[in-house]
Amino acid sequence: MTRLAPQLLRPAILGLLTSLALPVCAQTTEPAKHTLVQQGEYLARAGDCTSCHTAQQGQPFAGGFRLDTPFGYLLSPNITPDQQTGIGSWSADDLYRTLHDGVNKHGQYLFPAMPYTSYTKVTRADSDAIYAYLMSLPAVTNAVEVNHLSFPFNVRLSMLGWNELYFDKGTYQADPKQSDSWNRGAYLVEGLGHCSECHSPRNLLGGIEQSKAFSGAEIDGWFALNLTDGLKTGLGKWSVAEIATYLKTGADKGKSTSLGPMAEVVHNSLSFMTDSDLQAMAEYLKALPASSRMSQDYKPDTSLKTGATLYVDNCSGCHQAQGNGMPGVFPPLAGNGVVLAEDPNDILKVVLFGVPVQDGYIAMPSFGHLSDQQIADLANYVRNSWGNQASANATASQVANLRKMPVE
């Protein structure tokens, strides 16, 4: 974004002009059994198009979903085949140009809230399948004024300079040194899956800091976790099978559960993907080299007695004295990526708002009755116990700010 900040980059597709889908490469699963429209539907489900192109109480794909930025806000466009207010007049060439070149039907530059920097990797065949599906949808008349950014950020031509710096156009090219499965995973993760768009920190101009790609970033008040092979905060202790299970269900009984926007992605998107595609994505993610922005000069906070008392009184009955949890009932806190994230927002929001029932795990109630300082102390204790070595950087002011946010 310009800084169309990380809060716009949801793990679901955040398309400004179209938010389409995790592509099914040239090797579509059982291609003989699927029509072009069915292939496109799979891609649209995989990409979670409806979440970003459906306003609250709105018609699916009819746009109007609000994306707030530090420079104003954007509304996602109508991508139903309505001739006047949707994309009914678009051709397959128009859609491919949007994905591949980052411009709309009229040749106008897109804003990077639409992650065309990743979508450019999609093949023409997959773009055509998505187009066929979108054209099969019921047309909905819903005029949307997309651009509500402040000057000069509302000027699309300003994206020309941004693209020169951060847009490397080109379809994904398979690495002949890697397996077919690895290449399939790379295509899904790096392309329309655009995982790095949410899980990577950005500079002041909104460009991804490539040296820290996949190492985690703040988004919508949550922290999108480190997806590299780091042992402390990444996927170093996860197997490929565990990663695939997490993508499919949003939970791994021995590791963690999905929260916030990621839970939405699992529910609306990843849970519809084939096991082979999820396995390929997991294989590729597992191969990412370890990276973390957590300080290497870790120094534990020695003033955590208050948090320890709060943990014993409020948490130990379920998560156990040593943070081990109960497999399939209460998730562990020791070694949990949510707990270890560089930014403590995730664990703070869990304590504040609770977590619903997920994949067999019992719902966690809200502990919002605790004071802001107590919640911060509790989070810092959990982040520094049972071998956890995260920064004790949760503060009462952070909790106070999170209380003001709408519950998702």
The domain that holds 348 is classified in CATH as: 1.10.760.10
* Cβ neighbours around 252 below 10 Å, total: 22
Nearest to 94 by CA among 107, 110, 81, 79: 107
Nearest to 383 by CA among 232, 204, 191: 232
The more confident residue out of 109 and 306 is 109
Average pLDDT over residues 345-369: 85
User: Do the domain assignments include residue 227?
Assistant: no
User: Do the domain assignments include residue 48?
Assistant: yes
Greatest mean pLDDT range, 99-113, 221-235, 256-270: 99-113
State which of 109, 139, 170 marks the end of a domain: 170
Query: Which of helix, strand or coil describes residue 77?
Result: coil
User: Do the domain assignments include residue 375?
Assistant: yes
Q: Which amino acids are annotated as binding site, given as ranges?
A: 49, 52-53, 195, 198-199, 315, 318-319
Contact 84, 144 (CB under 8 A): no
42-85, pLDDT tens digit by residue? 888 877 788 888 898 999 999 999 887 767 888 999 999 999 99
State which of 170, 204, 234 marks the end of a domain: 170
User: Do the domain assignments include residue 266?
Assistant: no
The pTM score is 0.69
Tokens found for residue 49: 């198009």
Give a three-class secondary structure readout of 285-329. Answer: HHCCCCCCCCCCCCCCCCCCHHHHHHHHHHCHHHHCCCCCCECCC
Residues 159 and 11 in one domain: yes
State which of 135, 170, 205 marks the end of a domain: 170
What burial letters (b/e) apply to 47-59, b meaning 16+ CB within 10 Å?
bbbbbbbbbeebb
361-370, pLDDT tens digit by residue? 778 888 989 9
Tokens found for residue 220: 């919508």
pLDDT value, residue 31: 42
Domain holding 374, by residue range, is: 305-403
Q: Which amino acids are annotated as binding site for heme c, given as ranges?
A: 49, 52-53, 195, 198-199, 315, 318-319
* Cβ neighbours around 97 below 10 Å, total: 17
Nearest to 122 by CA among 173, 166, 168, 176: 173
Tokens found for residue 254: 């021995």
The number of CA neighbours under 13 Å toward the Cβ of 385 is 23
User: Do the domain assignments include residue 79?
Assistant: yes
User: Do the domain assignments include residue 224?
Assistant: no
Q: What angle do CA 145, 150, 153 make, to 5 degrees?
A: 95
User: Do the domain assignments include residue 264?
Assistant: no
pLDDT value, residue 407: 62
Reported in sequence order, the residue ranges of 179-255 that DSSP labels E, i.e. its strands, are 217-219, 222-224, 251-252
Q: How many angstroms separate the Cα of 343 from the Cα of each of 172, 306, 367?
A: 32, 21, 20
pLDDT value, residue 342: 86
Query: Residue 39 above 90 pLDDT?
Result: yes
User: Do the domain assignments include residue 25?
Assistant: yes
